[in-house]
Amino acid sequence: MATEGGGGFDTTDAGIAEVAPGVRRLTAANAGPFTFRGTNSYIVGDPSTGHIVIDPGPDEPGHIERLWRAAGGDIRMIVCTHSHADHSPGAAPLQALCVRAGHPAPPI
């Protein structure tokens, strides 16, 4: 079991799970007392409609890249449910990644 800060929080389960048709959950590797196993980010949509990313999570390059790849680079909108440090700081870097890849900037 990998832990962060000796607090006993498992950081090995930073996977992708389909929670409903067209809805996938990606867990950031930021386990802790407030995030438990990590912040859950959601990707809603499919290749024909594009994707909405909900709560892009922390500004952690690996997590941002995983979100972008899981959406096939076709992110149409980024939604933050609230502005806590574990939910919204990844929004601007994810938007910038879309632009660097030649896609329109999704609104946040």
Q: Are 39 and 30 in contact, with CB atoms under 8 Å apart?
A: yes
pTM, full prediction: 0.83
Tens-place pLDDT, residues 69-100: 999 999 999 999 999 888 899 999 999 999 99
Domain ranges of the chain: 16-100
CATH number, domain 16-100: 3.60.15.10
Query: Which backbone phi and psi does 68 adopt, to 5 degrees?
Result: -60, -45
d(CA 108, CA 7): 33
Tens-place pLDDT, residues 36-65: 889 999 999 999 999 999 999 999 999 999
